[in-house]
Amino acid sequence: MAEEVELSPKQKKEIAKWFLLNSPAGEIQYVAKDLRLVLNDNEVYDEAVSESFPIYNKSHMICLQMPAGAGDVLVTSFGELGENEYLDPRTALVAIVDHVKQVCTEVRPATDEELPSAYVEEFRSAMDVEILKYVGEAYPKGVCSVYCTKGKEVEGPGFNFELVVVISACRLSPQNFWCVNLSNHLELLGCFFSVWNIEFQDEAQVLEVKGKLQVGAHYFEEGNVQLDAKHECGDSTLFQSPDDSAISISNILRHHETEYLASLEVSYSNLPDNTFKDLRRKLPVTRTLFPWHNTSQFSLTREITKELGIGK
């Protein structure tokens, strides 16, 4: 019998980080709690969580409440100013974040150097108003922010700059074994994130738009079912006044996101007859044929168990 080899602290940390970084949306705290027990090594655990949580929080664009009713801040790489500091462009406040506890501990006013020029701010704030309106209509509990990522020092026409729109919409309920978001675009379960880069090209008088959309869901009552879907798209519109540009961009986002989520709905409607069928053997170990003609009536847990007589 081969002798068991003890993993080094570094190997344990890397494995722990993998589990933490691959936690479904809203569940990293639960994974971390279990990892602490499995590792039984506080030093390795502390290193793993301190390295993983900032990456996880930014990639999932978590939303944290700022103290004293100052509003919410999205934790994203686009608003990252320094270690644990994140700009909320809407309020011009900088949130100091405890990544491991996932809380905002304090805020401070942003400096002039951390904010865009008055000229760029006209476009940014107009965009923020329209996107906020759109998100309020489309995503319950959705949050959004508009950042200037390039050319924030531009003082007037004649130069290019770039804005980034971030939308994060999640409704989490791990105690009920699901982590989902309900979108008003359609009846879709899943966490939704989108990042839209808008390049304002002054000479060409064009706005180039590139979007990255992601939908994820996790259902784990008596099982473990996850969805992770990603999509990229592009578009363009005319460089107009701040208000008109904002309306055009909002319409573009609405069109592409609605179209993509509708395509997912079509995929879901074919899931019982096609995808789900490919994932399961025709004659399982119970030797009972699965009733493919009526799959839509079953949940992924108790109903299938009851129908196939498993566990009796």
63-112 and 116-269 agree in CATH topology: no
Burial class (CB in 10 A: 0-12, 13-18, 19+), 241: exposed
Helices (H), the chain: 9-21, 28-39, 42-59, 118-138, 242-269, 276-279, 302-308
Question: What CATH architecture applies to the domain 1-60?
Answer: 2-Layer Sandwich (3.30)
pLDDT score of 225:
67
pLDDT score of 50:
96
> Is 74 within 8 Å of 63 (Cβ atoms)?
yes
| Whole-Å CA distances, 40 to 11, 16, 27, 312 | 14, 12, 20, 38
Token digits of residue 200: 């304002």
pLDDT score of 274:
58
Helix (H, G, I), strand (E, B) or coil at 116: coil
Per-residue pLDDT tens digits of the chain, which is 312 residues long? 556 678 899 999 999 999 999 988 778 898 999 999 999 899 999 999 999 999 999 999 999 999 988 899 999 999 999 889 999 999 999 999 999 999 999 999 999 999 999 999 999 999 999 999 999 999 877 899 999 999 999 999 999 999 999 999 876 554 443 444 434 433 334 578 999 999 999 999 999 999 999 987 766 655 566 777 899 999 999 999 999 999 999 999 999 999 998 887 777 666 655 555 555 555 555 556 555 555 554 454 444 445 444 444
Residue closest to 68 by CA, chosen among 35, 43, 91 = 91
Q: Which CATH superfamily is domain 116-269 in?
A: F-actin capping protein, beta subunit (3.90.1150.210)
pLDDT score of 178:
40
Length of the chain in terms of residues written: 312
Confidence (pTM): 0.80
Angle at 220 between CA 194 and CA 172, to 5 degrees: 45
Alpha-carbon distance 196 to 162, whole Å? 10
Which bin fits 263, alpha (ψ -120 to 50), beta or left (φ > 0)? alpha
The domain locations on the chain are 1-60, 63-112, 116-269, 278-308
Domain 63-112 falls in which CATH fold? Ribosomal protein S3 C-terminal domain (3.30.1140)
pLDDT score of 187:
34
Alpha-carbon distance 49 to 53, whole Å? 6
CA torsion through residues 249, 253, 256, 258, sign = negative
Token digits of residue 128: 């923020």
